[in-house]
Chain A
Amino acid sequence: MELLSFGDTGWGDELFFATLMTIAVSISAMVIGFAFALIFTPLKLSKNKKLNVIGNCYTTIIRGVPELLVIYLLFFGGTGAVMYVASIFGYDGYIEINAFITGALAIGVISGAYSTEVFRGAILSIDKGQFEASKVLGIKKYIQFYKIILPQMLRLSIPNLSNVWQITLKDTSLISVTGLVEIMRQSYIAAGSTRDPLFFYSVAAVLYLMLTFLSMKLINKLEIKYSKGY
């Protein structure tokens, strides 16, 4: 227990901040994922064949390759790409992209693919009459989407989004390979310097279990709250 005390002698405060970092990365990744999903869901549902192919390519490729590969690609490739763009503008120095940004972006791209599938399913399960009724009433397409379809879609997708959240939360552990100090990386450091990997990885496991447990409780509450009227 002494190992977990706060302050200079223990790892308590380090692990606490690492947990906050994990939460921060997960939430940012989830939000980035939503942005991707809102772009690609209409593409997947569109009647235009070409747009359809783009949407399908995104979800199929991202869900078909390992998460680690996406992270490595963005982490190693991202730096090169940014430096290439910078060299066009006449800057030749070394640029290192923040590990948090690449990490959140990589996990966000992955979580976006899952969210896209969830949103697509939710929109498909909305009654067709809703679309027809708003068309008959002469409501413009984007107002129809924002005011009628989106709220229903979000409510319907809460249960499945909770799965996506769990996947996203667990995927953030993979960012540790790029050096961002979240739970996994911090336990790795602590395990290395105290030579007690069993203890620290168990602590990491308990922290992740706590996060999943608490977030499940929270999401269940949300689900109950938003299904009150139905």
Chain B
Amino acid sequence: MDIKLMISIFPSLLSGAVITLQILVSSMFFGLIIGFIFAILRINKNPIISKFAYGYSYFFRGTPLLVQLYLIYYGLANIEFLRNSFFWVIIKEPYWCAIIAFSLNTGAYTSEILRSAFQTIKKGYIEAAQSLGVTKKITFYRIQLPIAIKQSLPAYGNEIILILKGTSLASVITIMDLMGEARKVNVLTFKPFEAFITAGIIYLFITFIIHNIIKYLEKKYGFQT
């Protein structure tokens, strides 16, 4: 083990970690929006709509993230009219392709988490609201939604860590994130242990911080039963 090398590559790995975090935060943001939309579609009473939402989450949870990333990065560029349209500006950039793929992927998982949270809300709460004459809209925003968010916090914490691990795939499509920087160091120095263990320590550190933030939020806002 070459400790000196590990320290000397630390700054460049940290600059990669910044990109990893950027991708993580943007994927989480879009993923949450997608997740909310599909969770609400899932609990819709219309079977066609809920089947569609189920199909979406089945596809993205049943195939590897790498396939989804390749489909978006290599596959979409194959479609002629997309290449001539405004979307080309976005999908020609690997950075945006990665964010699209990760958002769609985490959106599917988030929608499942939220759906199960919605479905485990006690019927009594909704019935109580109904008997008090609260409108459906207010019941949703003031009662169902807050409870669902609180209940899904622990599962969502795990999901964030899964996306963090997923972002390492961005390095496969030429993005210089934390993983990409570690690969570069490995290629330049032929020291795989030093390169990847240093990157692993940074990844573990980020995981540790996310874990503790979620724990804190759970303690503060968690659902007490």
Chain A residues within CB distance 8 Å of chain B:
60-61, 63-69, 72-73, 76-77, 80, 166, 170-174, 176-177, 184, 187-188, 191, 196-198, 201-202, 204-205, 208-209, 212-213
Contacts and interface: CB of A to CB of B under 8 A. Distances in A.
Interface in B173-207: 179, 182-183, 186, 192-193, 196-197, 199-200, 203-204, 207
A213 B62 contact: yes
Contact of B186 (A72, A172, A177, A213): A72
A123 B192 CA distance: 38
B200 A61 contact: yes
A213 B186 CA distance: 38
Contacts of A76: 186, 192, 196
Highest count of chain B CB atoms <10 Å: which of A61, A72, A170, A213? A72
A64 B211 CA distance: 10
Contacts of B63: 170, 204-205, 208-209, 212
B168 A69 contact: yes
B165 interface: yes
Nearest to A67: B165
Contact of A80 (B70, B172, B192, B200): B192
State the main secondary structure of chain B at its contact with A. Answer: helix
State the main secondary structure of chain A at its contact with B. Answer: helix
Given A69-B200, A170-B65, A201-B71, A64 B78 contact: no
Interface of B: 58-59, 62-68, 70-71, 74-79, 161, 164-169, 171-172, 179, 182-183, 186, 192-193, 196-197, 199-200, 203-204, 207-208
Contacts of A196: 78
Given A66-B164, A67-B165, A177-B172, 15 more contacts: A64-B161, A65-B165, A68-B179, A69-B200, A72-B192, A173-B64, A174-B169, A184-B66, A184-B67, A184-B70, A188-B70, A198-B76, A198-B79, A212-B62, A212-B63
B67 A171 contact: no
Contacts of A171: 64
Nearest to A203: B67
Nearest to A211: B62
A201 B169 contact: no
28 contacts: A60-B204, A64-B161, A64-B207, A65-B200, A65-B203, A65-B204, A66-B169, A68-B169, A68-B179, A69-B179, A72-B186, A73-B193, A76-B186, A77-B196, A166-B62, A173-B66, A173-B67, A174-B64, A184-B66, A197-B71, A201-B71, A201-B74, A204-B70, A205-B68, A208-B62, A208-B63, A208-B64, A209-B59
B26 to A, nearest CB: 18
B64 A170 contact: yes
B202 to A, nearest CB: 9
A201 B197 contact: no
Contact of B74 (A60, A191, A213): A191
A224 to B, nearest CB: 22
Contact of B67 (A61, A72, A177, A208): A208
